[in-house]
Amino acid sequence: MRARTIPIRLSLALLGSIIFSTCAKVNGLPAQAGAAGTGVAGQSGQGGQGGGGPAGRGGGGAAGGTATHDAGADASTVGPLTDFPAAPFIDPSAPANAPALFDGTPPRTAGAPCIASPAAGALMPRNWLRPRFELAAAAGDNLFEIDVTVAGFAHPLRIFTGQPNAVLDGPLWDRLRKSINNQTIGVTARGLALDASGAVQAGPSPAATSNFLIAPVDAPGKIVYWALADDMGTKVGSLKGFGIGEESVQNVLVPSQVGNRASNETCIGCHAATPDGYGVGFSMGAQTYFDDLADIRSGTVGTAPPYVSPAAMATMRALHGIPTFSAAHWTDGDRIMVTNDTGTLHWIELSGGATGTLARTGDANHATLATFSHDGAKLVYVSTPTTLIDGRLDTGPADLMWIPYANRAGGAATPLPGASDPNATEYYPAFSPDDKLVAFTRVAGSGSAYSNPAAEIYVVPFNGGAGGKAIRLGANDAAACQPGLASPGLTNDWPKWSPRAVVGGDGRTYYWLTFSSKRLGTANAQLYVAGIIIDETGQIWNTPALYLWNQPAADGNHTPSWDDFAIPPIVVN
C-alpha cells in the first residue's frame, strides 16, 4: 500500500505564459498495417509517411522478462479529435494580422528556420508534456508560423507567435494524444522579419519540416534527479523530481533535511530509489561521500526508514559508492542494499545489519556502479583497473561484467558481450524493467568517466548474460538541422529506465529511457527521454530524444532515477 500524497499546487503565473506562447538522426519505427503515416523514413529521419527505418546498430531483443499491458486511453472525459480548429491561434506576441502577412507577402527563397524540437521521428508517451515547438530562427526573423498536420484532418493547426517557440494548448493536446496514436503528425515552420512599424522587411521563409508520433501507451513512474537547489543559504547538490506530464518540478530531498548527516555533509550525491518508492539511497558529500538512506515521503522526509537497523546504518555510513536495490530482495530479513566502496561489492541486509561481500571470481579489477536485476538473480557492474574516487569510476578503461547474486554469495565474473570492448570505457549500467536490456554510457578509449563530452548512450541485450551487439541510440544526436551540435560532443550520460515496460495494443513493447545531455549549447546538463521499442519479431527500435521542458533550464540536471517514487503530484492552477 502506497502512502497517500497531497498534490503540490503551483500558480500558472509561476510557469510563465505557456499556452501557445513564448517560452537526427532517427533509427525509425516499424510500419504498422492500417495506420497511415506510421513510421518515419530510413536513417536520415526525414520524410513523412512510409515504412520504418532500420533498427539502429543492433539486433533483436533477449528472451525472458515480463511487461504490463496497456488498457488504452481513457476517453471518458474528452471526446475524440477529428479535426483541428479552422481559425488560427495568434499569440499575444504576434500582430493580429500575422496570418495575412504570411499568406499575402511574396516568399523569399532561403533562410528556413531549424525545428530543433521535436526532432523528426520523436515518439511521445501518451501522457507526455504538451508538445513544445522550438525553432532556431534565421537572422532577423521575429514572426513565426508553426503548422501541425494530421492525415485525414480537413484543417491544419496554424500557430502564429512573435517568439521562436510555442506550446500546444492543454485541452487540445488532451484530445490529440488520446485520438492519434502511432500516426505521423507533421510540423512545418516559417519565419519572416518585421520592422519596428510592423511592415515586412523580409518575406516568409521556405518551410522547415519535422514530425512526431504519439505512442499508444503512457510512460509510468516519476523522475527524481540531481540538481542544485537553495538550501542552507546557498545552492547545493539536492534531489528534485516530477511526474511524467507535470509542468514543473519540486524539491524531493535537500541536504539539511537528512537527519543523520554530519555537519560537513552539505551535498547529496548520486542516488537510487528503494524498491517501494518511499526512499532513496545516496552518497553524501562534499567531503566524504559516504552512503546514506532517507525517506522522501511527506511528513517523514529526510528520516532514516524504520526498517534500517542501527548496525546497517553504521555499515553503510562507512562505505562509498552508489547503492543499488532489487524488488526481489526487499522484505524484512532479506532487505538488501549493494554498494562498492573502494572496489569490492558489499551487500548489507538493512533490517538486521548482516553484511558481506559478493565474489567476482576471475575479475581482479575494482568493481563499481553495480545495477541489481529486478528479478534479483544477477548484477551488472563496472570492472576497471583504475583507482576509484569516492566509490565511483574516475577514468577508463572499464568494461561491464556480470555475476550471479546467488543468495549473497556472488560467483564467476563474466564480461557482457557488446559492453566489454577493450578499446572503450563502458559504465553507468542500468537493467531495463524486465531485465531484457542493459543501457550504459560509452566513451571511446580510456578517458574520463565524469561528465565527458564524448560520452554516448548505448543499449545491449542482456540475453542471459550472452549479451549481443550494442545499439548506439539515435537519441544521442540533436536535430539534423543543428550540425553544430554533434555527438560525440554533447555529454550524453547516465541512462535510466522507466519502472515498467508496457505492451501496447499494437503488440509492441514500449520502454522509456531518460538521460542527461548538454545539447542546449550551455554548460548546464538537461534531462531528455527516448523511446525503445521491441516489435513482435524481437527487433529493437529506438527514437530521437524528447526535451523535458518542465525542468529549470538554468540548473545543471544530472543522474536521473526513474521509479514509482512516492512524491506528491504537481498541479498547475
SS3 annotation, 364-400: CCEEEEEEECCCCCEEEEEEECCCCECCECCECCEEE
Instruction: Give the model confidence (pLDDT) of 360-417 as tens digits.
Output: 999 999 999 999 999 999 999 999 999 999 888 999 999 999 999 999 999 999 999 9
CB 480 within 8 A of CB 25: yes
Nearest in space to 37 (alpha carbons), one of 187, 213, 178, 156 = 213
Lowest mean pLDDT among 199-213, 220-234, 304-318, 353-367: 220-234
Please determine, for residue 24, whether its predicted confidence score (pLDDT) is greater than 70. Answer: no
442 close to 425: Cβ distance less than 8 angstroms = yes
Task: Using alpha carbons, select from 270, 124, 142 the residue that is nearest to residue 205.
Answer: 142
Q: How many DSSP H helices and E strands does the chain contain?
A: 4, 40
Q: Please tell me the distance from the alpha carbon of residue 333 to that of residue 522, in angstroms, as a whole number.
A: 48
pTM of the model: 0.89
Inform me whether the pLDDT recorded for 35 exceeds 80: no
Cell of 524: 548546464
The answer to whether 114 and 135 are in contact (CB under 8 A) is yes
Separation between Cα atoms, residue 202 and residue 156, nearest integer Å:
24
In which residue are the cell numbers 524504520 written? 306
Q: Which of 82, 71, 70 has its CA nearest to residue 175? A: 82
| pLDDT tens sequence across 429-459 | 999 999 999 999 999 999 899 999 999 999 9
* pLDDT at residue 4, rounded to an integer: 40
C-alpha to C-alpha distance for 541 and 528, rounded to whole angstroms: 17
Q: Residue 230's pLDDT band (boundaries 50, 70, 90)?
A: confident
Confidence of residue 236 (pLDDT cuts 50, 70, 90): confident
The answer to whether the beta carbons of residues 339 and 346 sit under 8 Å apart is yes
pLDDT at 9 over 50: no
pLDDT at 323 over 90: yes
CA distance 117 to 365: 43
Domain boundaries, the chain: 14-54+73-214, 222-572
pLDDT for 3 beyond 60:
no
pLDDT (tens digit per residue) in 109-166 = 999 999 999 999 999 999 999 999 999 999 999 999 999 999 999 999 999 999 999 9
The whole-chain average pLDDT of the chain stands at: 88
Burial degree of 344 (CB within 10 A; 0-12, 13-18, 19+): middle
**Amino acid code (one letter) for 263:** S
Residue 15 confidence class, pLDDT cut points 50, 70, 90: very low
Q: 174-189, pLDDT tens digit by residue?
A: 999 999 999 999 999 9
The pLDDT, as a whole number, for residue 242 is 97
| pLDDT tens-digit map of 389-400 | 988 899 999 999
Instruction: Quote the pLDDT of residue 1.
Output: 39
Taking 70 as the threshold, does the pLDDT of residue 49 lie above it?
Answer: no
Q: How far apart are the first and last CA of the chain?
A: 29
The mean pLDDT of 536-561, rounded to a whole number, is: 94
Please state whether the peptide bond connecting residue 499 to the residue before it is cis, i.e. omega within 30 degrees of 0.
no
Alpha carbon of residue 472 to chain centroid:
16
Q: What is the CATH architecture of 222-572?
A: 6 Propeller (2.120)
Name the grid cell of 484.
Answer: 553544430
Give CA angle at 218 (212, 221), nearest 5°. 125
pLDDT of residue 77: 64
Place of cell 517557440: 165
Q: Which CATH superfamily is domain 14-54+73-214 in?
A: Immunoglobulins (2.60.40.10)
**Phi, psi for 313 (deg, rounded to 5):** -65, -40
Whether residue 119 contacts residue 475, with contact meaning beta carbons closer than 8 Å, is answered with: no
What is residue 70's predicted lDDT score, i.e. its pLDDT? 74
One-letter identity of residue 205: S
Radius of gyration of the chain (CA): 24
74 vs 274, more confident:
274
Lowest-pLDDT choice from 27-36, 138-147, 269-278, 502-511 = 27-36
For residue 20, the model assigns a pLDDT of 39
Residue 11 has pLDDT above 60, yes or no: no
Residue 229 confidence class, pLDDT cut points 50, 70, 90? confident
